[in-house]
Structure 1
């Protein structure tokens, strides 16, 4: 068994070093010792307590003795493959986040990992250090948000019991107790809002990884989520359906992560018949992955339907008309517009006017007419707004600005994609990056500099 923890001497990694209890623990499992050494080197300075194992059996033995937060496992290992190993972890240690590392574009194995192991994400070999680091950090943030969610749920249950006891005692002192009840309800509302924020923070991380894995440089998922939400609001959907539309918009292409890399990055009109058949499986893969997550069942249904057409000629189930949910019909229009705009969906179709003409031509057959009209009206209103485009330093950035051009580091590593909405967190990260690497960024943005 190999149980390695980070330390100054890279080769002396079979002995443990005392680490603060607050450090998250990451377990790397691979049957090749050089790979484990590379993982150990990659992890230096990231604030993780690192364990390594040469097989799934060794990994399970470590999990029985150690508190582990994230497991990163190779797929192809003798004795016990990665998907089986991670499925055992899901069964025995469900709170451990599971990530698959594979050098083989094996769709069936990935399906097994998604269906039975409930993996958080997967990375292809040879891995990119920055991407792998982001995936692991995202997993750790997601786990922390889940722990916070459970804590808040426990607190809410406790507060509900307290409210129940209050209700039983409401008799002659009802007026006096009204104030106490209002305070308790206010606290419950605050708890609910904090839980929602943790959930949306986790969604933000998943969306960033999804755009990277698709090879997109145009912030597709964020665009779809934002414009689908605005279209649903304009069409006066219920508050719950508006939120459902936004969340499904963020996750609508998550099934593409199970497809080979070359297929994810290929325009639909250049695919062979066999590739199209594989591509059309991604809504089904997405539904299987999302349905396994508690609370995302409704989102899974919408995501599965977002390629259905109102005339019944879509996929994967050939649903027709109102059998396709309204959130799915909205996402279909917004997502296809964005792909048409960027020349990914139809030959000789590029830019706003071409995309608009395509939607209008297909309204009533492929797309819902009311959705097309509402979306194009909304898009027209946005296009009429006067937006300044200019270069800005990090010090000039303001929350709400829109990145108008991809931002790369000096080594050409993509840091932010075009279309990203500038947030306080992004500004703080850029300030930290400049200070750490002694560099200065100039960003092309849209917004108000005044």
Structure 2
């Protein structure tokens, strides 16, 4: 059966265009009633009057969902659903039961691991809704598995292509190997943890941006550090980390130029598309029950404290706490990466902007505590690369290589990433620093030169 979808209901998961549903009941009038209720749905219905007949039909055809009565002569409903679970685990199982059939219901839950049970007499609208939800869940799981398979295939093709190309620059090669390793580790743990699944999606999102403009890892690091700093619970921390990994999931369908464009420079049509991405991200996660809290955080992370945000114009404490925190972390990171304004904003200026817009964009108490964390844990909070040293101008040495752009207090770019420091350059930096207002001091992220570079420049 082709894996097609129909347009989802508002804020609802996608539904398959068609599905095969098997109805099992020994009473013909019950089967006719079920057919009447479901006749307008886009599903192919098949009816049988016993568990034995159901297994015979299942052996010849593939069904997406089975609804079985609990009490039937011969093979009862729980026994049938347990057998279907053993032979056809992908088939969703629903039990029709009377109020007195508690023993049968418990047996179906324990042995058949049913999706839901529905009491007789049923409510027609509830019955249709349950079936739609079940088929939507099944459809989403199938698409997730298909995406995993496609990602594995593309990763293998990428590795094969890389093996046949000429050797690339060291940084690029290391980046590809690291990405391949992350994906491989994620696949090994995918069945064990939805947290690991979010890392896979996050890596796919990152591939749409240049290496120096990828925000997800930095956002995850910030929200996890803040959660530890404020002693948040484990579950809240995990939800925040997953939201940090997937907050821009709703941008995946965008054109490349829109994906990388600073948000404050977008024109009308692109701006409207941008404002939809939190809801799109939420909708993509709706069918995954363990991610429902993460989806809610993502939906509201572009709300503003003054009530002029999207999508629901929530104000103040109406905005979920985790969403308020995620917005602060996202803006802090994206300002420095040039994803909000046309130019990259230095760390100190990003902090100033957070302060300036407290009470307008941000929860004032929360942003103050976030800034306290940045100051208290600085500079380690902003990097996790063991090869990078964080030094002031007094500890710089000639030959060191700048690992990040250096900005003056005014926001002016002083030195580009990759610049090799000389004795004269270090002397000039110290002189510039003396002229900075309010005693501003430069903090530089540097790497030591490679040994072979030293040997080349200073031969014995």
Q: Normalization by structure 2: what TM-score? A: 0.45
